[in-house]
Chain A
């Protein structure tokens, strides 16, 4: 039921929403000819499709809403009613007091008629305002069911031209009254709520994505000193912890760790010192080992399993098996090495990540 206080606001909302309600992806007239609610919902995917197309999002929301929302969501309930014995004058007072424009008439709980503000004006004009209601009330009543969709209600308003419909439940009990204004207010209310939800959701998504990307990209660096066997494996361990925390499969973690460890010990054993970097993102870990010399004389030989130039101390400690570079190459999904005598060696190895329990 339309409240006079809302009337102005409602009117402008109506103007804004008119298109939204009357120009849905599915033309209501077509489906409403059958008057079949089931058929209306059966068309809902078409609305979803229109939504997904991303065109006129706000309007599409309204389109979805008029199908989703029911008359019971929008109606004024309980309705202000009167009895057939009441006078038209008392109805006039009821309308004034409650700022309403129509009053259903109940006899023993059964809907028997309706009096509209137009009826009251005519009565005042004709001088029979003190007559009992039953003499003048409209007995031809069109009602809506509370489970009808709003799109159907809108179509019924269009078809009959009435300003309001009494609403009955499944047991023919009068449960409310609905006006076009009620529908508009209801739609606006839900649109507003959806819009707020969407804004909150989007903000949360953006925040999550930002932190996600930040967390996904990690670069670990370590300077590696020549002959520093004590520190071997530190970067490798740190990298392994990061990968484990991200749920990377154990064998993938292990391959990355072996690469880092072998590259690190290579710098310790063979070079004058260098730097090792592990860059981790959501897809891969890239390990880069750069040293400042002396460089590898023959890379082909160095890549051969069992060939080593490691000194006695390294061998004493279990290094110098001549398996370092072959190990790295075997563990890497991508591998490259450049070296020049006198300037140093750059090694780069990439391992593609996959989560534990996920096989590619």
Chain B
């Protein structure tokens, strides 16, 4: 898999006021994908991206690990159950949460240089 560019996490985290739910150390992002339809993510997300969604159900982890998604950012202040956080740690997927809406999040991520 050819990666065009890799974006470091810290600047992005502060841009969207995100709080990490798992250890963010070492995570690098290749881009971003925003969708609340799992099949759409399965079909269109690239490996290594940050996935922005409102879903916190277990299924997001299945989808993310299938597509080698690096991190999931929950918008509107949503946070998954502890069991799902634990499973994400196990699967090596970074979980983040932001109080911003998906629209605001998208704008700020773009501005912060995550393309």
Contact = CB atoms under 8 A, between A and B. Distances in A.
Interface string B52-87: 010101111111011110000000000000000000
B3 interface: no
B78 to A, nearest CB: 13
Nearest to B37: A321
Contact of A327 (B43, B59, B60, B68): B43
Contacts of B63: 233, 261
A257 B61 CA distance: 13
A230 interface: yes
B1 A319 contact: no
A287 to B, nearest CB: 14
B36 interface: yes
Contact of B59 (A258, A318, A321, A326): A318
Most B Cβ at <10 Å: residue of A230, A317, A320: A317
A232 B59 contact: yes
B62 A261 contact: yes
Contacts of B53: 318
A318 B57 contact: yes
For chain B, the bracket of interface size reads: 20 to 34
B74 to A, nearest CB: 12
Contacts of B58: 229-230, 232
B99 to A, nearest CB: 21
For chain A, the bracket of interface size reads: 20 to 34
A324 B63 CA distance: 13
Nearest to A233: B62
A321 B66 contact: no
Given A236-B66, A240-B66, A229 B40 contact: no
A237 B39 contact: no
Given A230-B58, A233-B59, A254 B67 contact: yes
Nearest to B40: A321
Contacts of B68: 250, 254
Contact of A323 (B37, B60, B66): B37
Given A317-B55, A323-B43, A330-B43, A236 B62 contact: yes
Nearest to B62: A233
Nearest to A232: B59
Contact of B57 (A229, A258, A261, A321): A229
A257 B41 CA distance: 13
A146 interface: no
B38 interface: yes
Given A229-B57, A250-B1, A319 B62 contact: no
22 contacts: A229-B57, A229-B58, A233-B62, A236-B62, A237-B62, A237-B65, A250-B1, A254-B67, A254-B68, A258-B66, A261-B42, A261-B66, A262-B39, A317-B55, A317-B59, A318-B38, A321-B37, A321-B38, A323-B39, A323-B43, A324-B39, A327-B42
Q: 3 closest Cβ contacts across the A-B interface?
A: A233-B62, A323-B39, A321-B37
